[in-house]
Structure 1
């Protein structure tokens, strides 16, 4: 049976930065012969973050979130996958609320509160976490490294890819933002640097499962 990688888009905008990078990473995965299963969190049925029911701490459900909603098929797919790619834009200094909902449910189901075996994850897989932001690449590095550390501990070895100073709109002149954003500079970066980032994330996808 071939390898399967779960790809999760935690951003709402189709065809823009996060979506494009996920598509390129997916192409990299597929170049190795692996299969992609993709989920767009903003298009799922209603779901929440962790509801603190502690059902996943019962022996019969160890490592399994028992809350049934729109995230259940995503969590089930990740539990059976050979790798995971998650992409999210940065909103107000953090990844999206949709990402956080998945992050809480994904991590907490594997946390045991046991000092000797703090993680009960039975399917350790490589993870690629992608963030896009209109701020510089290094603006939220500490936060991203924290996500990297936690995902590595409870899901599997995690790599980061950050695309900063992204283009948000095709025409900034139609907003009252020109005083804050240099639309021409952002467009130039999008046309010159962003294609290079697409190539890099393609390569990361192609080496995700070694």
Structure 2
């Protein structure tokens, strides 16, 4: 039976950086023989982050978020998956609110508050976390390491890919905005030279996910 990999896009822009890297990573999984199930969080029905109801702490619901909304099927599929890939752009020095909503509910359902067995997750799976940002890729290493540490503990061994200094627009000259922070020519050159290498890396990391 083919392994099942859940891919979650926590960015809103189809065809741009986060979406492209996730598709390359998913391609690596598929070409290695996996079945890929994809979710775009911005297209789901209404959902929220953790509402702190503590329903997942009751013995009969242990390890399961009981909140029923647009994230329910995503969480259900992750609990049955053989691997997880998530991607988000950087918004205001963090990942998107959509990512955070999933992250909160994914992690909190497995947190027991028991010192001897702090995690009740019975399906430990490898994780690939991708972040894109218009800032340099070294700017948010500490942030991503924090996510990695938590995902390591409550979901499974996590690898991180950061794509920084990204191209935000296909043509900066066709806007009325004075974005003097950026050098459009530099952004374009990087997108044409470095970003393809990052796409290749995402593909290889997706492919390697099945070997973990």
Shared fold (TM-score, shorter chain, > 0.5):
yes
Question: Which residue in the other structure is 2:180 paired with?
Answer: 179
Q: Provide the rounded CA distance (Å) in 1 between the counterparts of 2:98 and 2:24.
A: 21
In the TM superposition, residue 42 of structure 1 has moved relative to its aligned partner by 0.1
Runs ≥4 residues deviating over 2 A: 175-178
Q: Provide the rounded CA distance (Å) in 2 between the counterparts of 1:189 and 1:162.
A: 14
Question: Which residue in the other structure is 2:127 paired with?
Answer: 127
Cα RMSD, aligned residues only: 0.7
SS in 1 for 2:124: coil
Equivalent positions of 1:97-108 (< 5 A) are: 97-108=97-108
Q: Provide the rounded CA distance (Å) in 2 between the counterparts of 1:50 and 1:169.
A: 33
TM-score, normalised by the number of residues in structure 1:
0.99
SS in 2 for 1:165: coil
Equivalent positions of 1:28-43 (< 5 A) are: 28-43=28-43
Equivalent positions of 1:61-100 (< 5 A) are: 61-100=61-100
Question: Which residue in the other structure is 2:7 paired with?
Answer: 7
Give the length in aligned residue pairs. Answer: 210
Q: Provide the rounded CA distance (Å) in 2 between the counterparts of 1:175 and 1:22.
A: 31
Question: Which residue in the other structure is 1:208 paired with?
Answer: 209
Q: Provide the rounded CA distance (Å) in 1 between the counterparts of 2:38 and 2:117.
A: 31
Gaps of 5+ in 2: none
Equivalent positions of 1:43-54 (< 5 A) are: 43-54=43-54
SS in 2 for 1:76: helix
In the TM superposition, residue 203 of structure 1 has moved relative to its aligned partner by 0.2
Question: Which residue in the other structure is 2:142 paired with?
Answer: 142
